[in-house]
């Protein structure tokens, strides 16, 4: 029986497992180890870092900030499941999870809680390609988590590090409710913008002229902790009124999330994971951009703009300048994150589907699994105005 402190004086007890740390299956080719609690999970991940592949939201730097800031506030227990190949000792698969109690059900989900664009496994060098072998790994991981009633592994990408996501072959995979928005700069940013059409190019040129007329136009990246702290403070101020219209709508509405973002912005900038940009006009910051860089991809987390500068379309300008900055350094892939927003579609993004893996471990959890699968397939909730229009159109026929 393992007990992990999840903050606020609350402890989670992992019961009903033969051993919460290690599960050996003599007849199996794979060994599964389970590490509960932030300290054990992070130490285990640090020990097996070599050769692992993941999205930017499952790296050690990201998970360290997440497990230590978000998990305790949400009364969730960090859990790391590590599957290794018995003969070589190499890692095949790592699952960075959170364990929570929901309506008498023990639920395992990716370390996400809405603050990361994606969830996903961490793939090791011993991860096989054959479906049968991958499913054997999955069964080994499931046997080691007998205390879990329901698995909700949401918003997975179909590929991780350019290779297929191994969990895509597991039973229970279905299309997620959201998709992500990607674009790739093949040559120069100017050539890419020209390819979006004359009207878009002329509009961008108009915004640049207005920006330059304001005086002291400047775009820069935070290079020091002091600069990162300053830009982040402005970002938080710009995001508060609109709650992240082009980013995560949970932005800055919870103290733990604000603490996580601030830590990621300042410490993550020093570690090379997070990036903060600012666009200045007449000595004031008109727009801020916050994201992470991983595997030659920049992923936007939050975009903030000052209301006084809306005539400049500063959000578009700061994104274009960031593209130029990264393209000059060999980063040509840009991920504007999930969400359907006109700002993103203006850049000619490609909508790429995401996937959920939902598994009920017992009969009691089956209705919950069915509910989550169905909710992902149903259309998004209508606003009152949309519902009125729909009903009016139906009865006016």
* CA 1, chain centre distance (Å): 31
pLDDT tens for 73-88 read 888 999 999 999 999 9
pLDDT of residue 341: 81
Whether residue 397 has pLDDT greater than 90: no
Q: What are phi and psi of 380, to 5 degrees?
A: -65, 150
Whether residue 31 has pLDDT greater than 70: yes
pLDDT of residue 376: 60
Whether residue 229 has pLDDT greater than 50: yes
Say what the pTM is: 0.84
| Structural element, H or E, at residue 122 | strand 122-123
Residue 260: partners with Cβ closer than 8 Å, 6 or more residues away: 65, 66, 69, 70, 115
What are the extents of the domains in the chain? 2-171, 182-351
CA 127 – CA 95 distance, rounded (Å): 13
Domain 182-351 -> CATH class? alpha beta
Using pLDDT thresholds of 50, 70 and 90, give the confidence band for residue 331. Answer: very high
CA 275 – CA 277 distance, rounded (Å): 7
**182-351 and 2-171 share a CATH fold:** yes
CA 255 – CA 185 distance, rounded (Å): 37
**340: how many CB neighbours lie within 10 A of its CB?**
11
Higher-scoring residue by pLDDT: 128, 28: 128
CATH of domain 2-171: 3.40.630
Using pLDDT thresholds of 50, 70 and 90, give the confidence band for residue 189. Answer: very high
| Residue 160 · residue 54 · CB < 8 Å | yes
CA 54 – CA 36 distance, rounded (Å): 20
Q: Report the pLDDT averaged over residues 119-130.
A: 95
């Amino acid at each position: 029986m393992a007990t992990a402190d999840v903050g606020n004086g609350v402890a989670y007890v992992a019961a009903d497992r033969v051993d919460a740390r290690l599960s050996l299956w003599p007849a199996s080719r794979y060994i599964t180890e389970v590490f509960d609690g932030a300290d054990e999970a992070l130490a285990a991940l640090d020990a097996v870092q070599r050769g692992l592949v993941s999205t930017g939201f499952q790296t050690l730097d990201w998970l360290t900030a997440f497990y230590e800031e978000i998990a305790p506030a949400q009364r969730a227990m960090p859990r790391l499941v590590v599957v290794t190949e018995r003969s070589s000792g190499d890692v095949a698969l790592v699952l960075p999870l959170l364990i929570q109690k929901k309506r008498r059900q023990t639920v395992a989900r990716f370390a996400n809680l809405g603050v990361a664009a994606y969830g996903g496994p961490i793939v090791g060098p011993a991860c096989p390609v054959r479906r049968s072998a991958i499913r054997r790994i999955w069964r080994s991981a499931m046997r080691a988590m007998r205390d879990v009633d329901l698995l909700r592994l949401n918003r997975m990408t179909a590929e991780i590090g350019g290779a297929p996501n191994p969990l895509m072959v597991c039973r229970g995979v279905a299309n997620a409710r959201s998709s992500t928005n990607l674009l790739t700069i093949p040559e120069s940013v100017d050539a890419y913008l020209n390819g979006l059409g004359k009207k878009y190019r002329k509009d961008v040129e108009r915004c640049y002229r207005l920006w330059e007329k304001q005086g002291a136009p400047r775009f820069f990246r935070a290079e020091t902790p002091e600069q990162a702290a300053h830009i982040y403070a402005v970002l938080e101020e710009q995001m508060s009124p609109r709650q992240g219209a082009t980013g995560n709508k949970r932005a800055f509405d919870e103290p733990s999330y604000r603490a996580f973002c601030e830590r990621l912005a300042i410490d993550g900038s020093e570690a090379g994971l997070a990036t903060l940009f600012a666009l200045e006009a007449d000595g004031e910051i008109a727009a801020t951009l916050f994201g992470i860089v991983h595997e030659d991809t920049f992923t936007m987390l939050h975009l903030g703009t000052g209301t006084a500068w809306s005539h400049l379309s500063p959000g578009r300008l700061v994104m274009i300048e960031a593209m130029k900055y990264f393209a000059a350094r060999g980063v040509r892939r840009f991920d504007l994150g999930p969400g359907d927003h006109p700002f993103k579609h203006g850049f000619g993004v490609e909508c790429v589907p995401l996937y959920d893996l939902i598994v009920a471990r017992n009969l009691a959890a089956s209705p919950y699994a069915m509910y989550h699968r169905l909710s992902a397939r149903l259309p998004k909730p209508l606003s009152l105005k949309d519902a009125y229009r729909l009903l009016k159109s139906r009865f006016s026929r």
